[in-house]
């Protein structure tokens, strides 16, 4: 991994090596790998073990086309290369559904890295249109769309995205800590 990502306190390398590229190969993700990635997400802790997340998975061109109808143009510029798109939705009947679903996303991303896959979560999409297009029940609230696949060559991206497609640093830990 690049010297750009250094841990102040010796965290496991899985956290330093995982980053969100926008460059995807169109190569299909094997079904067993996809299922392991999704299952890993279900092992995330959740309040009262409610597991308030759902995954709408688009693997075929026809399924991905539905997603393209609600993903914003800036994300369409790169995510059309991803072979799998996943809408992560939270069951709003749980007061901490967004928090728990975010934890599931984290587990999914780490398992994907373990599988040799990359992920990038997108907030840039029309949530109400996604609910309509995917016919989601009222209690499921879209959180993010996740692109999943194999790392591609960043030269396939538009120039302005090529310049941004690299691991980023993090703020110092101390900037997040508030003493009680």
The pLDDT of residue 9: 86
Position 161 in a domain: no
Chain-centroid distance of CA 18 in Å reads: 12
Q: Is 174 within a domain?
A: no
pLDDT in tens, 149-165: 999 999 999 898 889 98
- The answer as to whether 49 is a domain residue is yes
Q: What share of the chain is helix, strand, coil (3-state, %, to 5)?
A: 40, 20, 40
| Helices assigned H by DSSP within 58-158 | 61-68, 73-79, 97-114, 127-133
CB 57 within 8 A of CB 34: yes
Contact 92, 140 (CB under 8 A): yes
CATH number at residue 61: 3.40.109.10
* 135, part of any domain: yes
The span from the CA of 100 to the CA of 107, in Å, is 11
- Which pLDDT score is estimated for 3? 62
Dihedral angle of Cα 166, 172, 176, 180, to the nearest 10 degrees: 160
**Structural domain boundaries, residue 146:** 23-153
Residue 60 lies in a domain: yes
Instruction: Please give the tally of structural domains in the chain.
Output: 1
On whether residue 5 sits in a domain, the answer given is no
Render pLDDT for 119-141 as a digit per residue (tens, 0 to 9).
999 999 999 999 999 999 999 99
Q: pLDDT (tens digit, 9 = 90+) per residue, 14-26? A: 888 888 889 999 9
Q: Which has more confidence, 29 or 159?
A: 29
Three-class secondary structure of residue 127 per DSSP: helix
Q: What is the pLDDT of residue 1?
A: 45
Q: Which helix (H) or strand (E) holds 34?
A: helix 31-42
In a domain, 173, yes or no: no
pTM over 0.85: yes
**17 lies in some domain:** no
> How many percent of the chain have pLDDT more than 70?
98
Q: Is 80 exposed, middle or buried (0-12, 13-18, 19+ CB in 10 A)?
A: middle
């Amino acid at each position: 991994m690049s010297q750009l990502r250094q841990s102040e306190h010796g965290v496991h390398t899985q956290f330093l090596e995982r980053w969100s590229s926008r460059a995807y190969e169109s190569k299909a993700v094997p079904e067993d790998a996809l299922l392991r990635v999704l299952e890993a997400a279900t092992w995330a802790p959740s309040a009262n073990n409610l597991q308030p997340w759902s995954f709408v998975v688009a693997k075929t061109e026809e399924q991905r086309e539905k997603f393209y109808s609600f993903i914003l143009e800036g994300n369409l510029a790169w995510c059309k290369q991803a072979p799998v798109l996943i809408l992560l939705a939270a069951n709003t009947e749980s007061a901490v559904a967004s928090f728990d679903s975010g934890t599931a996303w984290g587990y999914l991303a780490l398992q994907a890295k373990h599988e040799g896959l990359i992920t990038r979560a997108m907030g840039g999409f029309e949530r109400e249109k996604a609910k309509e297009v995917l016919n989601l029940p009222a209690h499921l609230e879209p959180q993010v769309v996740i692109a999943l696949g194999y790392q591609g060559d960043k030269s396939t991206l538009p120039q302005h995205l090529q310049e941004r497609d690299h691991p980023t640093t993090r703020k110092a830990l101390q900037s997040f800590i508030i003493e009680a």
